[in-house]
Chains A and B, each alone.
Chain A
């Protein structure tokens, strides 16, 4: 087995437990989309075209409530603006990849795949094959999402609402976030973002999520220890070790991809 395959399979393996939380949420998206009066092909097409759970869910609900389409688009876009931060966060690791790789991985950049992939990127190890890990994680999530929303669309109203399957979304995120809480700055960032999101939940167009995220990041940055600041200066942006010659495979990247390893 080549190391590409090993990375790809490791990406699939690491997202498997998370998929157990994604499947029920996909199911209830399918059910709620049909409940909102969206025809089956369109409901399933949204999973291909948009591929973003919470935005799809909210869109279905707004369509059911006969909200004008401009407002629906605006709301969904604001919900998905958080992906710009994901994009900026993975960008340094992907900058040596061929543009086709980047176009593909951008399509697969969901909450869950991002959280799993960025954790892997921040671990020490050979940086030249990690996009295969990202691909494995992203494709496993994509396939699972398509299949589970399709089942939900077909089942329609046969999944009772009192099963509370929507609760699997926050549970999935808890499973992703809690192991990431390793230092004071990270904990403060998480608590700040969470509390502000609760307080700002009344803001129109789900703007509270964005406000909360930015405030959380700011607090985390302010509480970051001094030595950590110095260490992470040599984060991914410093890995300028030569230019790539092969368009598909990135060159070996300097082993400075461990933010904070020699910090705290």
Chain B
């Protein structure tokens, strides 16, 4: 990819991403949002983030890995328990990362 193509690619992605982020924030006052949609929006953070987390833990490339040898699944599960018991974000990240390294060494 040449330099001009590269910069144009970045610009396109950047401008469209910004437009997506701005969309409802700018237009909200001009439209009527149905109440079921308002209620559904409560689930946005849970749904999006879970849809990123689970594939990162369960998939090895494109293959489903449910074995005990799946270090990411084990480390992620330990991190989830830490997050649930402590609600401490830093501890969750540190325990998950150290857990993964330890499992890799074992």
Q: What residues of chain A have their CB less than 8 Å away from a CB belonging to chain B?
A: 16-18, 20-21, 24, 38-39, 42, 45-46, 49-52, 54-55, 59, 63, 66, 69, 72-73, 76-77, 80-92, 94-95, 99, 102-103, 105-107, 109, 111, 114-115, 118, 162, 164, 167-181, 185-186, 189-198, 201-202, 208-209, 212-218, 220-221, 224, 229, 232-233, 235-237, 259
Contact across chains for A218 and B40 when beta carbons are under 8 A apart: yes
Contact across chains for B104 and A164 when beta carbons are under 8 A apart: yes
Quote the shortest CB–CB distance from B106 to chain A (angstroms): 14
In the complex, chain B residues whose CB is within 8 Å of the CB of A49: 10-11, 13-14
In the complex, chain B residues whose CB is within 8 Å of the CB of A91: 24-25, 27-28
Contact across chains for B64 and A198 when beta carbons are under 8 A apart: yes
Contact flag A167-B50 (CB < 8 Å), given A83-B21, A115-B45, A218-B40: no
In the complex, chain B residues whose CB is within 8 Å of the CB of A176: 45, 49, 89
Contact across chains for A178 and B83 when beta carbons are under 8 A apart: yes
* Chain B interface, >50% SS class: helix
Contact across chains for B76 and A84 when beta carbons are under 8 A apart: no
Contact across chains for A171 and B6 when beta carbons are under 8 A apart: no
Contact across chains for B50 and A191 when beta carbons are under 8 A apart: yes
CB-based nearest B residue for A24: B97
Q: Which of B78-104 contact A (CB under 8 A)?
A: 79-80, 83-84, 87-90, 92-94, 96-97, 100-101, 104
Contact flag A213-B79 (CB < 8 Å), given A77-B13, A88-B33, A167-B97: no
CB-based nearest B residue for A182: B46
In the complex, chain A residues whose CB is within 8 Å of the CB of B23: 84, 87-88
Contact across chains for B21 and A66 when beta carbons are under 8 A apart: no
Contact flag A73-B9 (CB < 8 Å), given A168-B93, A175-B92: yes
Contact across chains for B96 and A52 when beta carbons are under 8 A apart: no
CB-based nearest A residue for B90: A17
Contact across chains for A80 and B20 when beta carbons are under 8 A apart: yes
One of B7, B12, B21, B76 near A42 (C-beta < 8 A):
B7
CB < 8 Å A-B pair total: 287
A237–B39 alpha-carbon span in the complex (Å)? 11
In the complex, chain A residues whose CB is within 8 Å of the CB of B52: 54, 111, 169-170, 173, 197, 209
Contact flag A115-B49 (CB < 8 Å), given A59-B13, A66-B1, A85-B41: yes
A21–B88 alpha-carbon span in the complex (Å)? 13
Q: Which of B21-50 contact A (CB under 8 A)?
A: 21-29, 33, 35-50
Contact across chains for A213 and B44 when beta carbons are under 8 A apart: yes
CB-based nearest B residue for A52: B17
Contact flag A217-B43 (CB < 8 Å), given A87-B25, A169-B56, A174-B79: yes
Contact across chains for B93 and A17 when beta carbons are under 8 A apart: yes
In the complex, chain A residues whose CB is within 8 Å of the CB of B87: 178-179
Contact flag A164-B46 (CB < 8 Å), given A73-B9, A172-B93, A220-B40: no
One of A76, A174, A208, A216 near B47 (C-beta < 8 A):
A216
Contact across chains for B12 and A73 when beta carbons are under 8 A apart: yes
Contact flag A83-B20 (CB < 8 Å), given A69-B5, A218-B40: yes
A229–B39 alpha-carbon span in the complex (Å)? 7
Taking A50-B14, A186-B43 as known contacts, 5 extra A-B pairs with beta carbons closer than 8 A to each other, sorted by chain A number, are A89-B45, A170-B57, A208-B55, A221-B36, A232-B38
